[in-house]
């Protein structure tokens, strides 16, 4: 089975909504009709657990088999915003000569994404190439803060297993410094 996202899944992955667990959201991020159960298995302790999670998401309407996606009408294209968002002036990045961990640049999703790509390359490419590929693909699809946090949590869970809690915690702190603050919704 090569599951694909439904409209319900796309809504879940948009900012502001969060009804699924991080692992379930990661499955949604990765479900593109090209990945099979084998590709999802590294997110779980065993293949059976991955299969159960996928089936649960299918039953709840978040995922569908590709045949169902082909039979369904194509989703309407997303309209462009009426006016472009203003471009903020770039803030200079301060490079510290004493510590590689100091970062005084602008917090942004782009900076966070690049840092997560870097972690993926350094920690997973040689050790677990399939997981690295899945994380890279998920990062390419991530469009908001919540999606970035979901992917980061998956990566940090794997880092905890292989490099220890201290290493994972130090990376978690660095990610927190790079992510833009959560938007307050009234």
Helices (H), 88-128: 109-123
Closest by CA position to 4, among listed 26, 44, 34, 38: 34
Residue 47 · residue 41 · CB < 8 Å: yes
pLDDT digits 0-9 by tens, 17-65:
678 887 788 888 788 787 777 777 777 777 788 888 888 889 999 888 8
Q: How many CB atoms lie within 10 A of CB 156?
A: 20
pLDDT at 7: 86
pLDDT of residue 39: 74
**Residue in 94, 116, 97, 118 with CA at minimum distance from that of residue 176:** 116
């Amino acid at each position: 089975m090569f599951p694909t996202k439904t409209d319900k899944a796309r809504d879940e992955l948009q900012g502001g909504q969060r009804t699924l667990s991080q692992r379930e959201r990661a499955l949604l991020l990765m479900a593109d009709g090209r990945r099979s159960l084998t590709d999802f298995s590294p997110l779980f302790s065993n293949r059976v657990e991955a299969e159960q999670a996928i089936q649960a998401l299918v039953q709840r309407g978040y995922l569908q088999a590709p045949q169902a996606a082909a039979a369904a009408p194509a989703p309407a294209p997303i309209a462009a915003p009426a006016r472009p968002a203003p471009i903020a002036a770039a803030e200079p990045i301060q490079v510290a000569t004493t510590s590689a961990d100091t970062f005084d640049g602008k917090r942004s999703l782009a900076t966070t994404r690049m840092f997560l790509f870097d972690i993926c390359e350094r920690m997973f490419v040689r050790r677990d190439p399939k997981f690295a590929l899945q994380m890279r693909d998920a990062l390419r699809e991530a469009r908001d803060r919540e999606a970035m946090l979901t992917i980061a949590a998956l990566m940090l869970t794997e880092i905890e297993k292989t490099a220890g809690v201290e290493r994972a915690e130090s990376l978690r702190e660095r990610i927190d410094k790079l992510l833009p603050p959560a938007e307050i919704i009234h």
